[in-house]
Structure 1
Amino acid sequence: MIPHVGPSVLKPGRHGPRGLFLALDDQVFAFAAERHWPAAEPVLPRLSRGANHGLLWFATAAALAVSGTPRGRRAAVRGLASLGLASLTINTVGKPSVRRSRPALDAVPLGRRLKRQPITTSFPSGHSASAAAFAAGVALESPTWGAVVAPVAFSVAMSRVYTGVHFPSDVLAGAALGVGAAFAVRRALRPRRRSHRDTEDD
């Protein structure tokens, strides 16, 4: 096994909380990279690529929109609005402010790596933010549809560590930002009072 050397490996001496956190982050990344996940190999890299530019979520929103229920259509709109806000925040504030380097790929098996490596900075994870934003936005409108979308969103977020393009903290921060975006959209678009028909549609 090739030893992992990441940007967060500690040098001898005393270290502050930030250094210890980054070292732990790197160790968790290395642990995940060195584990064998047979069930994930045929799925997670494809999911990771499918979520590029939000394509997976646009397709999911289209499926919700044609579901035949008003709540499905509203869930699609809220999911996409949440995704848009999260993406805007990531690209204008998040990544330019932190500029964290991507993980070293030494310990990541070749079969897991993406054919096209991202060229943007690592923190926070845009894919995770979009996934969490869309899933949370959908769930805040329709818990039923949210329960369907959530496992896919979780898998997309995990795929970013699995394929070696993000540290775990990048994913957690992105997911937190995405959920925050969904709640911000909820405040901006107050849900109307549910009718008996809406309850039946769920």
Structure 2
Amino acid sequence: MDELDDLDHRILSALHARGADPRVARVARALSWTGEHGALWLAAGVVGAAVDGSRRGAWLRATALTAGAHAASVGVKRIVRRPRPAHVEPLVRTAGRHSFPSSHATSAAAAAVAYGALGAYAAAPLAAAMCLSRLVAGVHHPSDVAAGAALGAVTARLGARWMREGHHG
């Protein structure tokens, strides 16, 4: 095992141990379920568009960026094909067997950046909790989560100008 794999292993083991507390496990499971396929973030974007009519276009574009980031992560997963961690017992079932990058982290970070630009500042701490929950649940290596979060944030940042254009139409 090289140094990064060893660090991934140790961090995951330490955070996964927090799931022994039933309250922590319950939150990790809830975040896992709501974050599946970006559902929480897509729903939040649609709600934002519904309640903020003057910026409906921007909200819909931010939602599209979030969905696009999620789709990109699924594509990368199919290319990289890194297996999920084998040294911990997962707290949740997963939609697939590949781990890199974390699609939950990708959509969460994309939403935090895109929706945060629209004033939804609660998205960032919720996104951070979503990312940590993937480690507590034992379904990703920390490097999977970091890569997913970076992919999501970069995708949303690259689309920021396009998103702002939706403010006017």
TM-score class normalised by the smaller sequence: 0.7 to 0.9
* Structure 2 counterpart of 1:125, one-letter code: S
Equivalent residue for 2:130, pick from 130, 133, 156: 156
Alignment of 1:1-202 (within 5 A): 10=1, 19-35=2-18, 37=21, 39-71=23-55, 73-92=56-75, 94-104=76-86, 106=88, 108=89, 113-114=91-92, 116-140=93-117, 142=118, 144-145=119-120, 147-187=121-161, 189=162, 191-192=164-165
**Taking structure 1 as the reference length, what is the TM-score of the superposition?**
0.72
- Superimposed CA distance per residue, residues 24-55 of structure 1 (whole angstroms, 9 cap, x where no aligned partner): 11111111122355653332211111111222
3-state SS of 1:164 partner: coil
- Whole-angstrom CA distance in 1 between matches of 2:12 and 2:52: 42
RMSD: 2.3
* Higher normalized helix content (fraction of residues): 2
- Superimposed CA distance per residue, residues 153-202 of structure 1 (whole angstroms, 9 cap, x where no aligned partner): 22111111111110111001000000010012124x1635x99xxxxxxx
- Whole-angstrom CA distance in 2 between matches of 1:51 and 1:177: 16
- Whole-angstrom CA distance in 2 between matches of 1:120 and 1:137: 28
Query: For this pair of structures, how many residues does the alignment match?
Result: 166
Asked if the contact 1:131–1:175 (Cα under 8 Å) also holds between the matched residues in 2, the reply is yes
Shift of 1:69: 4.4
* Structure 2 counterpart of 1:134, one-letter code: A
Shift of 1:138: 1.3
Q: Structure 2: where are the runs of 5+ without partners? A: none
Q: Structure 1: where are the runs of 5+ without partners? A: 1-9, 11-18, 196-202
Shift of 1:105: 5.1
- Whole-angstrom CA distance in 2 between matches of 1:178 and 1:97: 17
Moved over 3 A (4+): 35-39
Larger radius of gyration: 1
Change (3 A) 1:190 1:127: closer
- Superimposed CA distance per residue, residues 105-126 of structure 1 (whole angstroms, 9 cap, x where no aligned partner): 53x4xxx711x23423111101
* Structure 1 counterpart of 2:109, one-letter code: A
Change (3 A) 1:100 1:152: same
Asked if the contact 1:157–1:171 (Cα under 8 Å) also holds between the matched residues in 2, the reply is yes
Change (3 A) 1:190 1:59: closer
Change (3 A) 1:120 1:75: farther
3-state SS of 2:94 partner: coil
Identical aligned pairs, as a percentage?
34
Change (3 A) 1:62 1:190: closer
**Taking structure 2 as the reference length, what is the TM-score of the superposition?**
0.85
Shift of 1:132: 0.7
